[in-house]
Amino acid sequence: MDSGDLFFTARAKSDPEKALAKARLIGRAYRRMAAAAVNVGDLDLLQGLDFLRQEASQGVPLISANLLDPSSKTPIFDPYVMQQVSGIQIAFFGVLSPNFQPEIADRIPKRVGEHIFIKDPVETAREMVLKLRDKVDMIVLLSDLGSHRDHELVKSVPGIHFVFGGHEGLGLAQPKREGKTYMFQSYAKGMFVGKLRLAIKNPGLPFQDEGGVSRIQEQIRNLDRHLQALQKQQADQPGQQLAQRIQWINQQKAKFQEELRQLSGAQSQENHFLWTLVSLNPSLREDEDTKGWIQEAGIDQD
């Protein structure tokens, strides 16, 4: 799945024909990968709706719940898709921001004119959750809002399990959390693939972050290393200040150990997940067919 801004970049001076050729290759690759859902982001509108409609007709699963036809106020693309995985029914819906990036704000209206209406994302998300919550086990939002607006949205709209964003191209090695919702971001330009592994024991229970255990364990190891250094220093130069510092570190370690105990116990009872960013680097084997498509299009140096 993809959270948006897939096809085009904000560079104003890019060659339009080359940009379209590259975008068509991206669509072809996503069809080859059998993507489940691709949200429409603001950058995706740079070449107008005709291009996006063509990609959707050829099998790219474009979705947007708040990109509407202005006359009928109905979604231009499917507002959501549902997939069943290992008996778990999952819904993906997408939103984009009505406030375009400054560098493209004057370019998008020229391409789409009065042919789109972007509904308030929070209102849209609330309607989607109400519509989907009794139909599926899990609700996933693909967002082109940006991390701050993602956070504000989930504060106002409970019931979303996971939010995948990427508008700013930030990478999150660990998720952010608001209530029972976890928010993720992968890096820009396909530098990393975000991978979410789910272990679901009961779809009705909350999720716990499996990565939280490893992060706390690492913090405890860091405290132990610091503690050993301070204890060695105290043996050579005893003092009240060092003793207080050692006491404080032991207190912090005890807090982390208790948090670790609680997390470990919760994982045995609840659903949990592990989020990782997988680096896409030149050492990985390329798909020969895709490599051939790129070379045929003459954009292999881009």
**pLDDT reported for residue 300:** 59
Q: What is the mean pLDDT of residues 96-121?
A: 86
Confidence of residue 171 (pLDDT cuts 50, 70, 90): confident
Cβ proximity of 207 and 160 under 8 Å: no
For position 240, what pLDDT does the model report?
Answer: 81
**pLDDT above 80 (res 158):** yes
pLDDT in tens, 213-225: 676 777 788 888 8
Q: Which of 106-110, 137-141, 244-248 has the lowest mean pLDDT?
A: 106-110
| pLDDT score, position 114 | 77
Residue 173 is predicted with a pLDDT of 74
pLDDT in tens, 74-104: 999 999 999 999 899 999 999 999 998 888 8
DSSP string, 188-253: GGGSEEEEEEEE-S-TTSPEEEHHHHHHHHHHHHHHHHHHHHHHHHHHHS--HHHHHHHHHHHHHH
User: Whole-angstrom Cα distance, residue 88 to residue 219?
Assistant: 34
Q: Over the stretch 186-199, which tens digit does the pLDDT of each residue have?
A: 877 778 888 899 99
**C-alpha angle 209/41/190, rounded to 5°?**
60
Of 10-14, 92-96, 208-212, give the lowest mean pLDDT range. 10-14
- CB 206 within 8 Å of CB 279: no
Give the strand pairing for 271-279 and 207-209: parallel
- pLDDT band per the 50, 70, 90 thresholds, residue 238: confident
8, 23 in Cβ contact below 8 A? Answer: yes
Single pTM value for the model: 0.81
Structure confidence at residue 41 (pLDDT): 95
Q: Is 188 exposed, middle or buried (0-12, 13-18, 19+ CB in 10 A)?
A: middle
pLDDT of 12: 63
Given a cut of 60, whether residue 154 has pLDDT beyond it is yes
Average pLDDT, the chain: 87
| pLDDT(275) > 70 | yes
In this structure, are residues 31 and 55 in contact, taking their beta carbons and an 8 Å threshold? no
Q: What percent of the chain has pLDDT over 90?
A: 44
3-class SS string, 74-96: CECCECEEEEEECCEEEEEEEEE
284 pLDDT more than 70: yes
Encode pLDDT of 251-274 as tens digits.
888 887 887 776 666 555 578 888
